[in-house]
Structure 1
Amino acid sequence: MASISLGGTPVTTIGELPAIASSAPNFNLTKTDLSTATLADYKGQKVVMNIFPSVDTGTCAKSVRQFNEEAAELEGTKVLCISRDLPFAQQRFCGAEGIENVEMLSDFKDGSFGKSYGLEFSAGGFSGLHSRCIVVLDANGKVLFTEQVQETADEPNYKAALEALMDA
């Protein structure tokens, strides 16, 4: 269980992020076209998972925009923006913002991604939503880097996540 904060109030998650050098847990997430994405779909590519509570909040939206800019420069890498938002809301946001370089994925069906990655809020106003995290994987699905942002309102360390890609 990780201890972080939400608006300065202490909160916890249901577990811990996957360990560095471990195999990332598989997932079944929903794309904006309502098809399913699994970890196996990204085999052979490096992956940056930008995970957050909702694209309808300022910091979450900013992280999607930032990674959209960064992703345009990354070869052999997919940036996955993951939340429990409905795919329709994710698609609407991307259309309005001109987001084209990241893939939006939703854990709305059963929340199994948030549970298996240990990042779901366990209590409070955001209970059931994802905490703000970054998980970077190599082309074989091994965890290279993780960050669980201490204060949910803060942005992740984009530079550290992208540097982990360069070292792989």
Structure 2
Amino acid sequence: MATVKFKGELEVSLNGTELNLGDIAPVVSAVAADLSDIQIGGQKGKAQIILSVPSLDTGVCAAEARKFNEAASKLDNAEVIVVSMDLPFAMKRFCTTEGIENLKVASDFRAKAFAKSYGVLQANGPLAGLTARAVFIVNPSGKITYKEIVPEITNEPNYDAVLAAASEATSTSCCGSCH
């Protein structure tokens, strides 16, 4: 079972299936801001940058969403999806207030299917039941080509590494089967 830290001291266990590079990204359903179903993972014919955050109502998560919203506007053949346990209404309000237009939001509040299938469900600590901070990049063929479980929940991911991996996953020079 993977672990991360919360505020440097508390060790938080993560529940669910631990995924590795080269694994096929599980297909799961979550709830979009408009209350429709949104599919995450699997083969979509385009890259997926999947951001797992505890809550868009925190400064760190909001900053991460703004940064990736800006980056998403420069990516071709990709979709960026932010997944949390926030209710769809709160996610929609956040996107409207922050001018977020280049990424999708997905709430995992109903079944926690994403958190369990991707191994990012916090099992203990003050944020138990929420998703840990993580990034998964899935190539057009559905394979995980990048994974970062951020070791300290209150820190942002390694943007440079994520964006480099996203650029590689969205490259039209590769069919995606070589990764």
> What TM-score, normalized to structure 1?
0.95
Aligned 8 A contact 1:17 1:146 in 2: no
Q: How many residues align?
A: 168
Pairwise CA distance, 1:11: 1.2
**Cα deviations across residues 108-162 of structure 1 (Å, max 9, x unaligned)?**
1111110111110011111110000000000011000000001111000111112
Distance 2:122 2:83 in 1: 15
Aligned 8 A contact 1:2 1:16 in 2: no
Superposed, 1:1-168 pairs within 5 Å as: 1-8=1-8, 9-15=10-16, 17-39=18-40, 43-168=44-169
Distance 1:41 1:20 in 2: 14
- Structure 2 gap segments, 5+ residues each: 170-179
Instruction: Please report the RMSD computed on the Cα atoms of aligned residues, expressed in angstroms.
Output: 1.4
Distance 2:41 2:139 in 1: 13
Pairwise CA distance, 1:4: 1.0
Distance 2:31 2:49 in 1: 17
Distance 1:110 1:141 in 2: 22
Percent identity reads 39
- Structure 1 gap segments, 5+ residues each: none
Distance 2:155 2:112 in 1: 23
Pairwise CA distance, 1:165: 2.4
Cα separation, partners in 2 of 1:100 and 1:42, compared to 1, 3 Å: farther
Distance 1:81 1:118 in 2: 16
Pairwise CA distance, 1:39: 3.4
- SS in structure 1 of the partner of residue 71 of structure 2: helix
Greater displacement, 56-65 / 37-46: 37-46
- SS in structure 2 of the partner of residue 28 of structure 1: strand
Cα separation, partners in 2 of 1:25 and 1:158, compared to 1, 3 Å: same
Cα separation, partners in 2 of 1:159 and 1:71, compared to 1, 3 Å: same
Distance 2:15 2:24 in 1: 19
> What TM-score, normalized to structure 2?
0.90
Amino acid aligned to 1:60: C
Aligned 8 A contact 2:75 2:167 in 1: no
